[in-house]
Amino acid sequence: MADLDVYEVFGQEKPGATFCHAGSLQAAGPDLALVLASELFCRRSEYVEIWVVPRPAVQVAPRDGASLGPAEPRGYRLGSGYRATVDKWKRFGGEQGADR
Amino acid sequence: MDMDLQAFDARIARGELIEADDVMPDAYRRQCLRLIVTHANSELMGALPEREWIPRAPGLRRKLSLLSKVQDEIGHAQMIYRVAEDLAAPFDITREDMLDDLICGRAKFHNVFSYPAPTWADVGIIAWLVDGAALETQGALLRTSYAPYARILRRICAEEAVHLKHGEDIVLTLASGTPSQRAMLQDALSRWWRPLLHFFGPPGESPNGDAFRWRIRTASNEDLRQSFLRKYVPKIQRLGLAIPDPELRLNAATGLWSYGDPDWNEFWQVIRGDGQRTAERLSLRRLSRDEQGWVVAAMRPEYAA
């Protein structure tokens, strides 16, 4: 079955949800890939929508590369980098921060 | 493959997971492949004894349950062969090669699928206890270091858990039925008890140290068997069924079950491909491939629109 193409299958569990990788399959063309994907991954209505993507169309970034974010701490980009606001609010009286 | 074995071992030791396109030692690839292909073969062969019962299932609801279980098992085989294909690509082994190996008796599949299922109670015992045993093994494999296998196992385990419920329902129905239904259930349990002990493989038979060192496998044969016995012996006893092993007892101090010698020679005989139904089931598999070959052909690129 070396002349069949590999498709990666993605599914959406409910409307509005993020599409997640479900698995992969082999098929001759996208139409048959969709048929097989629903046979293999949707026997229990797991998804409201599925995508099949030819594997060569998936570009993978190097896992250790700088493109996935610098190694240095970058709390300033995260909510957790601003925990000091809790104490800072206390200077202004009241129990907690205004939005807590 | 040209790679730093120590660096790979260090990745495993750090608890990292291995992906299909990662650099990995050939020995790791071969061990994963052997385990995964055997699992795929077992899903495929496991559907056969149950398929025999679809036309004879008592009632529409049971027929639907069994039909969907068989469909699930074939689906599992498809998904697992897919994972195996990616692993096997560097060795130039295709899915067709794997299926050929199975049909020609060159590849292994699980021992339990070499036994007959003569009554409807066997179907219940298979779905409850054989799938229960499979869930022990597959549940432990969710922690395997080979990530694509672990991912597909999460889906498979969820479906196997449904099969177990279906089997439990058949067994509970028969256990609360007529004396002849209870007798049929007892006979089926007695037939399956030894193959069930065999299911996890001999104690102390560590498959190959590397499988544990590389976290391809995470639980020993005996650990898995003990976990199975802990869960199911009390339930079987609660149903008032007799387990055909006078030496079976729980050591209260260790929490471990001891059991009589289940004749490991029989196990090895089945593993060598000489089980009661091995040849018959393989020829059935060969027949399906020949008879349904036109479907596979119709799905090939030259016909696909």
Measure in Å the smallest separation between the Cα of A92 and chain B Cα atoms. 47
The verdict on a CB contact (< 8 Å) between A29 and B301 is yes
pLDDT in tens, B268-301: 999 888 898 999 999 988 998 899 889 988 888 8
The verdict on a CB contact (< 8 Å) between A25 and B152 is no
Complex-level ipTM beyond the 0.95 threshold: no
The residue among B157 and A74 whose pLDDT is bigger is B157
Nearest CB partner across the interface for B304, out of A1, A28, A41: A28
> Residue B208 carries which side chain, given as an amino acid letter?
N
Confidence of residue B228 (pLDDT cuts 50, 70, 90): very high
Which residue(s) pair with A26 in the sheet? A6
> Please, where are the H alpha helices in B90-146?
95-103, 120-125, 131-141
Nearest C-alpha neighbor of B41 from the set B84, B91, B4: B84
**How far from the centroid of its chain's Cα atoms is residue A33's Cα?**
21
Nearest CB partner across the interface for B79, out of A1, A23, A29: A23
- At residue A66, the pLDDT reads 66
Confidence of residue B1 (pLDDT cuts 50, 70, 90): very low
- Distance between CA atoms of residues B267 and B271, nearest Å: 6
Domains delineated in chain A: 5-57 (3.10.20.520)
What average pLDDT does the structure give for chain B?
Answer: 93
The verdict on a CB contact (< 8 Å) between A2 and B71 is no
Chain A residues contacting B, CB < 8 Å? 1-4, 22-29, 31-32, 39-41, 43-44, 60
Would you state the structure tokens that stand for residue B131, as one six-digit string? 């799938």
Place of tokens 């139409």: A31
Domains delineated in chain B: 5-202+212-298 (1.20.1260.10)
The verdict on a CB contact (< 8 Å) between B82 and A23 is yes
Instruction: For residue B81, give every residue at least 6 positions away whose Cβ sits within 8 Å of its Cβ, in sequence order, or none.
Output: B37, B40, B95, B98, B99
Cβ contacts of B305 on chain A, cutoff 8 Å? 29, 31
Strand ranges for chain B from DSSP E: 249-251, 256-258
- Cβ atoms within 10 A of the Cβ of B141, count? 21
pLDDT in tens, B165-207: 999 999 999 999 999 999 999 999 999 999 999 999 999 866 5
> Residue A60 carries which side chain, given as an amino acid letter?
V
The verdict on a CB contact (< 8 Å) between B305 and A26 is no
The verdict on a CB contact (< 8 Å) between B82 and A26 is yes
pLDDT in tens, B41-69: 999 999 888 888 999 999 999 999 999 99
